[in-house]
Structure 1
Amino acid sequence: MKVLLVDGTIIGSKTGAILEQVQIYINKANPEMELKLLKLADYDHQFVDGRKLEEYNESMQEMVHRFEEADGYIIATPIFQGSIPGVLKNTFDMLHPRAMRYKPVSIVANGGTYQHHLVIENQLKPILDYFRCLVTPNYVYTHTSHFDETNAIISEDVHNRLRELARVFVQYAEMSKHLSKETLDNH
């Protein structure tokens, strides 16, 4: 199973630090999963405006293909100004509505205030629901105080929640194998 670890921003390093930790915990829960990092900062972004995919640059096309080829996702995002980064929303806008259908998704996020966790509930989960993803119920939200000056996670509670997220994601991934096949057989 190919799992895409999506670093949903072009600045900062906390989301990357969270993804590194999730990768370790998923590898422990199921070492057979193929985990690949996709950093939005590595792509040459264009605004999505309704053109056909082949009319966008190669970088945007590659990003879409990586999403389409994946069997599951860990989406990591910072919360800026009470919202997900525009570059992450622009990425979702590039995807076909069936690109992520019935694929497992876990969410990790970080923000400067404790109230920003509501962005996951009010913005990110509805987008993923639109795609009909299998969103795990236990997202992990981190705050600046959960990191040291090198952006290492210092909160044992966060580590415990990331371990649980990895365990639940692996179960959702197993479930999605059967659901996806049934769905394809019925079409």
Structure 2
Amino acid sequence: MKILLVDGTVLGRKTGAILEQVQKYIAQFDSSLELEILTFADYQHEIVDGRPFEQYNEGLQEMVKKIESADGYIFATPIFQGSIPGVLKNAFDFLHPKALRYKPVSIVANGGTYQHHLVVENQLKPILDYFRCLVTPNYVYTHSSHFDADNNITDQNVQERLQELARVFVKYCEMSKILPKETIDQH
């Protein structure tokens, strides 16, 4: 199974640092999974505006196809101004409505206040529910105080929750294998 660990921002390093740790934990639970970190900062983003998909830049087309063809996801997002970044929502707007159906998804997020964890519940989970993803019940929200100056996760509780997230995600990967997937017309 191809698993994308999606760093859903073009700013900062904390979401990438979280994904690197989750990647290690997933590999410990199932070394057969093909893991790849997809970093939004590596792409030139364009706003979805209704034009034919082929008219967007090649890198963006590649990114969308990579997301749609994966078998599971860890979505990582910072929380800015009480919301997910526009670049992440824009990426979801490119996806075919059936592209993520019955695929396992876990969520990690980070923010500057402890209250921002509610963004995962109120914004990100409804989007993923629309796509009918198999969203794991446990997500991990981190606060800037959980990192050192080099963006290493220093909080032991966060490490334990990330490890548990990875364990549950691997179980959801197993479950998703037996669910029928629909083929979609590519863009």
**Alignment TM class, shorter chain as reference:** over 0.9
Q: For residues 23-77 of structure 1, give each alpha carbon's deviation from its aligned partner in whole angstroms, at most 9, with x where no partner exists.
A: 0000000011000111000011111012221121101110111011100000000
Partner secondary structure for residue 162 of structure 1: helix
Structure 2 residue identity aligned to 1:178: I
**1:82 matched to 2:88:** no
- Secondary structure of 2:96's partner? coil
Unmatched tracts of structure 1, length 5 or more: none
Q: Is contact 1:103-1:180 (8 Å) kept?
A: no
Amino acid paired to 1:89: K
Matched with 1:153 is 153
Q: CA RMSD in A?
A: 1.0
- Deviating beyond 2 angstroms after TM superposition, the runs of 4 or more aligned structure 1 residues are none
SS in 2 for 1:178: coil
Q: Percent identity?
A: 72
Counterpart in 2 of 1:171?
171
Whichever structure has more helix as a proportion of its residues is 1
State the partner residue of 1:7.
Answer: 7
Quick one: which amino acid aligns to residue 112 of structure 2? G
Matches of 2:11 and 2:58, distance apart in 1: 22
For the 8 Å contact 1:7–1:16, the answer to whether it is kept is: yes
Q: Secondary structure at the match of 1:110?
A: strand
Amino acid at match of 1:19: L
TM-score scaled by structure 2? 0.96
| SS in structure 2 at match of 1:35 | strand
Report the counterpart of residue 125 of structure 2 in structure 1. Answer: 125
Quick one: which amino acid aligns to residue 69 of structure 2?
A: E
Bigger mean CA deviation after superposition, 154-163 or 46-55: 46-55
| Aligned residue pairs, count | 183
Q: Distance in 2 between matches of 1:21 and 1:14?
A: 11
Secondary structure of 1:167's match?
A: helix
- Contact 1:44-1:59 within 8 A present in 2 as well: yes
